[in-house]
């Protein structure tokens, strides 16, 4: 991701590049594939993370470890910029992907794997910019995470 890409001056926020992080994550499942709601059994009626959602959390954790992305151990106001590089030319809505990505940035345990996370909680994200980038084989997401300044 190009950190020098300018944000239009008319926007009322800036991202502090000195304290920001830039990294890549694998292509996420859409929000429709991220969740499941069983119709039967003891979990009937609950909304649960799907198998694809759990697999994505583990894959994202591996990417974060590979890039050695540190934890932003603060609860301040955050801005996130996502550039989605789809794997193919199928029609996709860009608003179907941020939930899986933001959840992958939080700490937790998925499939017995400790996911250290990058942010304490996605509730601290106050600005979210999602862009469609050029195609990339297999798909990927460029992530820029920074402090929000007023």
Q: Is residue 80 part of a domain?
A: yes
Confidence of residue 47 (pLDDT cuts 50, 70, 90): confident
What's the number of domains the chain is made of?
Answer: 1
pTM comes to: 0.81
The CATH number of the domain where 139 resides is what? 3.30.1330.70
Where residue 21 falls among pLDDT bands split at 50, 70, 90?
A: confident
In a domain, 2, yes or no: no
Q: Is residue 72 part of a domain?
A: yes
Q: What would the 3-class secondary structure string for the chain be?
A: CCCCCCCCCCCCCEEEEEEEEEEEEECCCCHHHHEECCCCCCCCCCCEECHHHHHHHHHHHHHHHHCCCCCECCCCCEEEEEEEECCCCCCCCHHHCHHHHHHHCCCEEECCEEECCCECCHHHEEEEEEEECCCCCCCEEEEEEEEEEC
What residues make up the domain containing 115? Answer: 14-36+45-149
Mean pLDDT, rounded, for 130-141: 95
Average pLDDT, the chain: 82
Residue 7 lies in a domain: no
**Does a structural domain hold residue 70?**
yes
Q: Is the residue at 3 inside a domain? A: no
Q: Determine, yes or no, domain membership for 26.
A: yes
Per-residue model confidence as pLDDT tens digits over 61-114? 888 888 888 887 667 788 899 999 999 999 999 999 999 999 999 988 877 777
């Amino acid at each position: 991701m190009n950190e020098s890409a300018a944000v239009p001056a008319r926007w009322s926020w800036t991202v502090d590049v000195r304290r920001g992080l830039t990294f890549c994550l694998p292509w996420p499942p859409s929000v429709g594939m991220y969740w499941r709601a069983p119709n039967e059994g003891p979990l009937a009626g609950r909304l649960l993370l799907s198998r694809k959602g759990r697999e994505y959390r583990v894959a994202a954790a591996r990417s974060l470890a590979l890039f050695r992305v540190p934890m932003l151990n603060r609860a301040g106001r955050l801005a996130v910029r996502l550039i989605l590089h789809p794997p193919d030319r199928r029609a996709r809505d860009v608003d179907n992907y941020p939930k899986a990505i933001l959840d992958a940035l939080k700490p937790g345990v998925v499939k017995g794997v400790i996911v250290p996370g990058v942010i304490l909680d996605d509730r601290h994200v106050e600005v979210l910019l999602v862009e469609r980038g050029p195609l990339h084989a297999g798909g990927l997401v460029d992530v820029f995470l920074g402090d929000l300044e007023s």
